Amino acid sequence: MGILGRRAILAGTGAFAIGRARAAGEFRYKFASNVPLTHPLNVRAQQAADRIRTESGGALDIQVFPNNQLGADTDVLSQLRSGAVEFFTLSGLILSTLVPVASINGIGFAFTDYDAVWRAMDGELGALIRGEIARGNQIVAMERIWDNGFRHMTTSTKPIRGPEDLQGFKMRVPVSPLWTSMFKAFGASPISINAAEMYSALQTRIADGQENPLAAIWNTKIYEVQKYLALSGHMWDGYWFLANRRAWQALPAELRTLAARHLDQSALDQRADLATLNTSLATVLQAKGMAFNEVDKDAFREALRRAGFYQEWRSKYGEQNWAVLERAAGGTLP
């Protein structure tokens, strides 16, 4: 019996119709990420992969490669574009080396809380970025962005309370023009290093500090090589769930729909996981020996303003995109 006949008979038998009409393992796709298997990003990606495999009768089999196993972020981005890797979660700020507007949500102090973040990223701002990602870059982004978090600064040598403590300070930042620009504007000496080499860079004192959300600081064991944590919340950063366009379009429509549904559901579940971790991890990290302090956020924002940071990026993104950010953030930026 031909495929059409079999599929016609199976029509109406529900989810399993997809799988039975197709050979198990017809599509074996790789998913790469830069955090350990324990991070909710991978826990929820694995859960989506399991659901997709089961409900497709094994037709779409997504294998999870955590912890930079397939390479550092900037390498895996190339692999994603060429199709050597089919799925990849990447910070919009790093993706901005390819899609400039993708860093816009990382503008310093643009968002005050998660309500504003999700309203923006599930709304007009997220749609703007996804549209640009899809425009001629061999990649597409799923609808829901996954949480990385509000980023806080950690250091090994001294606490950071205001911009004066950052002058000339060797800060590891991810590979992205926005990060470099922002930490220069604070007065620091930023060093671009992929997440894959972050731990060893801090251990060997190539850098004396770094900045990451609590969940990443916990999962990558940064607390082992850093002492102080300044609750700066200086920007919000998220992971776009990206697919190689050719691989994505090679999936039959019903498999694509199934995959998108479970990946987007896992994004929402992962956001909820991090919301819980955000409240519990402060205690956990302090028990590991980290000393927490609050910062003067206004002083940091003022340092960015004085350095011309907002002006510079406003002109880089253009007035129209900047207006979308301002609307999304619910106010005017400096």
Q: Binding residues for ligand X2X, per CB under 6 A? A: 34, 91, 148, 174, 195, 212, 216, 237
The Cα 231–Cα 151 span in angstroms is 8
Smallest distance from ligand X2X to CB 302, Å: 25
The DSSP line for 244-296 is EHHHHHHS-HHHHHHHHHHHHHHHHHHHHHHHHHHHHHHHHHHHTTPEEEE--
In the bound state with ligand X2X, the residue whose beta carbon lies nearer, of 235 and 258, is 235
Smallest distance from ligand X2X to CB 59, Å: 31
Smallest distance from ligand X2X to CB 210, Å: 7
29 contacts 247 by C-beta, under 8 angstroms:
yes
In the bound state with ligand X2X, the residue whose beta carbon lies nearer, of 126 and 213, is 213
In the bound state with ligand X2X, the residue whose beta carbon lies nearer, of 27 and 109, is 109
Smallest distance from ligand X2X to CB 89, Å: 8
Smallest distance from ligand X2X to CB 194, Å: 7
Beta bridge partners of 242: 88, 141
Q: Dmax over Cα atoms in the chain, in whole Å? A: 75
In the bound state with ligand X2X, the residue whose beta carbon lies nearer, of 165 and 237, is 237
Q: What share of the chain is helix, strand, coil (3-state, %, to 5)?
A: 50, 15, 30
The Cα 262–Cα 117 span in angstroms is 22
**Crossing angle of the two packed helices 124-134 and 114-121, in degrees rounded to 10:** 50
In the bound state with ligand X2X, the residue whose beta carbon lies nearer, of 27 and 87, is 87
In the bound state with ligand X2X, the residue whose beta carbon lies nearer, of 40 and 57, is 40
51 contacts 57 by C-beta, under 8 angstroms:
no
Give CA torsion, residues 297, 300, 301, 303, to 10 deg.
160
In the bound state with ligand X2X, the residue whose beta carbon lies nearer, of 59 and 202, is 202
With CB atoms as reference, the residue minimizing the distance to ligand X2X is: 195
Smallest distance from ligand X2X to CB 276, Å: 19
Phi, psi for 248 (deg, rounded to 5): -65, -45
Smallest distance from ligand X2X to CB 87, Å: 15
The Cα 251–Cα 27 span in angstroms is 8
**Crossing angle of the two packed helices 309-317 and 177-185, in degrees rounded to 10:** 160
In the bound state with ligand X2X, the residue whose beta carbon lies nearer, of 100 and 334, is 100
Smallest distance from ligand X2X to CB 60, Å: 26
41 contacts 33 by C-beta, under 8 angstroms:
yes
